[in-house]
Structure 1
C-alpha cells in the first residue's frame, strides 16, 4: 500500500474515484520489501537522509541525487516533490490532480528551511509546481502565504508558465462524478495522497516541503493542512521535522506537525512522537473510524518514525543505509 491506500480517508469521492491511470501509477512504483517501523533499528547521526510520505520512489531518488552530490536539504525537498507535481498519473498532486466541485484544479504547497523561513501557496490554479512558487514567496516577499488569484499572478511575475492542470483521465472522472455529485469521504480508496518530504543534508541541516491538490471534489476554496506551517509541515533545525497526510481538517485542529516536533524536543523519539500525535487526534474523535491521518517525523540524528489511524500508510526513506519503503503501525489494526 502506498500517497494513500492508507487513505481511504481523504478524498471526496464517488464510485470509480480510483482511475486506471492511478492504479497504473501504483504498479510502476518499485516495491521493495516493507520493513515494519517497529523493527527498524535506531540510527545515530545518519546524514544525508531523505524521507517522504507514501511509496514515492522517484521523488526520494531525485532528492537523494541532490543530497548525495553535496546539495542542501532545501533544494533536495523542492526537487523531490516536484517529481510528483509533474507526474500526471498521480491524481492528488500537481498536474493531473482532481478538481473541486466546480471543476477547478486548485493546488496547495509549502516549504520550510533550516532557519525557520517558510512560504506557502493555497488554492492556486494553472501552475504545475506550487512548491517552487511557495519557495519564491519565502525568498522574494515579506509574506508567508499567498492565495488564489494573487498566488497565481505572483507565479506569472516570477516566470512560471500557465498550464491546464486537467488531464484526459481526470476530466472524464469529473464528468462521471457530476452525474451524482456525491460528496463524502471514503477511507483508503485513493492510491496516493499528499507528498510531504523531510531531508537532512551533509551539514546536518533540515528542510521540508509538502504539496497536494487536496481532496477530490472538495468545496471550492477548501484548504487542508498541507500548506499550513505547523499543521502539514514543521521544521526546527535544533530538533527535527514532521509532516502529515490524510484528512487535513483533523491535523489542523491539533497543529499536528508542530506538536510532533515539540514532543521530540521533550525527548520522545520520532516514532513515539508520531504515535502521540495520532492519539491526541483520536482522543478528540473517540470512536470515529471514518477518516485517516498519517504522520512522518525525523529527528536531528536521522532517526525516523511514522504512525497512522488505519493500516496502509507507508513512508519511503533513502540514506547510505539503503532505499526502503517502510510500513508503519496504526491506531486501529
Structure 2
C-alpha cells in the first residue's frame, strides 16, 4: 500500500501562487532536513529487539528470528506468542484475568515496515491473537476485526478454540467478586501488556502489542493496545513506540504516535518518551498518582528510550547479542 501524500500540488495565480509556493518550499526543506536527521542508518544498531516489562524469553525468541536472518515482523509475532502462551502471566493470552463477568477477552495489533496494520479486539477462546491480527492485516481488506467476528475469522484460518480462563485466574476473579471493587492498581502484577519493537538486519522496523486488558474490566472494554497510534505505532523512516499501563490515558494523548512524531522532529527516543508522559501528567485535574503508564521507543539508528509515570516499570532490550532487563526512569519521584 503506497504512502498517502498529504501535501498535494496546488495551482493558483498572482500573489496566491507566490504564497503557496513559498510555503511549500519551506515545508519541503524542513522535511528533507528532518528526514536526513532521523533516517540515517550510519552505524545503526541492528538487529535489535525492545519489549515492555521483564520479558526475557519473549525477547530472546524474537532475537533468534533476527539472528537467523528473519524479518522484524516475524520476530515480533514470534516473541509475543511466547507471552500469550504463558499462563502464569495473567495479563496476556491464556490465563489472562477476565472481565467482571468472568470472560477472558484479548486484544492485539501488529504493524509492519510498510505501514500496514492489523488488529483484533475483544476476542474470546483464541490464544494467539497476535497471529490473528497479522492474518487480518495480510488476508483481509480491513485493519480491525472485533469480538465474535474476529473469533470466527480466526477459526476460518485454522486457529483452534480453547478455554482461556485458567483455574488460577478463575480463583482470582471469584475472590474479586466478594467486593467487586474496580480500582486499577499500579503494577498489580508488575506486568501487563507486552509491546515489542524490532529492527532486522535490513534496518526495517515492525511492532506488535498483545494483552488481556485490565483485570475485571467492564464487558466490552477495549484499551489502547490494539489501537493504532495508541498502544503501538511504527514509521519505518523514523522509528516505533509502544505503551503499557492504563490504556484510557494512553488513548487520550495518542501516545505511541506522539512519540514517533516527536522523534521525527529530532528528539531522541528517551526525550520523546519523557515528553509523552509529560502530556499525561500535566493535564489539569489529572490525578496521575492513581495509575501507571509506561512507554518504550526505538529510532532508525537503534537508539532506545523508556519512561513511565511511576517506578517499577522495566523493559528488555536485545542488542549487540545481549538481552538485558533495564529499570525505566520515571516521573513521580516525590
TM range (shorter): 0.7 to 0.9
Structure 1: segments with no counterpart, 5+ residues: 1-42
Match of 1:297 in 2: 297
The answer (yes or no) to whether the contact 1:44–1:302 under 8 Å persists in 2 is no
Aligned CA RMSD, in angstroms, stands at 1.1
TM-score, L = length of structure 2: 0.86
Say whether 1:269 aligns with 2:268. Answer: yes
* Structure 1 residue 319 displacement after superposition: 1.7
The answer (yes or no) to whether the contact 2:190–2:313 under 8 Å persists in 1 is no
The answer (yes or no) to whether the contact 2:288–2:309 under 8 Å persists in 1 is no
Structure 2: segments with no counterpart, 5+ residues: 1-41
Deviations 1:142-171 (CA, angstroms, capped at 9, x unpaired): 101100000000000010000000111011
Count of paired positions? 291
Deviations 1:65-98 (CA, angstroms, capped at 9, x unpaired): 1000000000000000000000111100000000
The answer (yes or no) to whether the contact 1:123–1:221 under 8 Å persists in 2 is yes
Match of 2:310 in 1: 310
Say whether 1:215 aligns with 2:214. Answer: yes
Say whether 1:332 aligns with 2:320. Answer: no
Inter-partner Cα distance in structure 2 for 1:168 and 1:332:
36
* Structure 1 residue 316 displacement after superposition: 0.2
Deviations 1:184-208 (CA, angstroms, capped at 9, x unpaired): 1122222211000000000000000
Inter-partner Cα distance in structure 1 for 2:287 and 2:74:
42
Match of 1:177 in 2: 176
Inter-partner Cα distance in structure 1 for 2:201 and 2:299:
15
TM-score, L = length of structure 1: 0.86
Match of 1:322 in 2: 322
The answer (yes or no) to whether the contact 1:127–1:162 under 8 Å persists in 2 is yes
Runs of 4+ in 1 over 4 A off after TM superposition: none
Inter-partner Cα distance in structure 1 for 2:266 and 2:78:
31
Task: Rate the CA distance shift 1:271–1:107 in 2: closer, same or farther, 3 A.
Answer: same
Inter-partner Cα distance in structure 2 for 1:220 and 1:191:
24
3-state DSSP class of the match of 2:122?
A: strand
Deviations 1:78-120 (CA, angstroms, capped at 9, x unpaired): 0000000001111000000000011100000000000000000
Deviations 1:34-56 (CA, angstroms, capped at 9, x unpaired): xxxxxxxxx94000000100010
Match of 1:90 in 2: 89
Match of 1:235 in 2: 234
Inter-partner Cα distance in structure 1 for 2:243 and 2:184:
18
Deviations 1:252-271 (CA, angstroms, capped at 9, x unpaired): 00100000000000000000
Note the 1:136-215 alignment, pairs <5 A.
136-215=135-214
Inter-partner Cα distance in structure 2 for 1:184 and 1:195:
21
Inter-partner Cα distance in structure 1 for 2:43 and 2:303:
7
Inter-partner Cα distance in structure 2 for 1:104 and 1:239:
39
* Structure 1 residue 287 displacement after superposition: 4.8
Deviations 1:206-228 (CA, angstroms, capped at 9, x unpaired): 00000000000000000000000
Inter-partner Cα distance in structure 1 for 2:272 and 2:123:
32
Inter-partner Cα distance in structure 1 for 2:299 and 2:256:
13
Match of 1:126 in 2: 125
The answer (yes or no) to whether the contact 1:44–1:303 under 8 Å persists in 2 is no
3-state DSSP class of the match of 2:225?
A: coil
The higher-RCO structure (CA 8 Å, 6+ apart) is 1
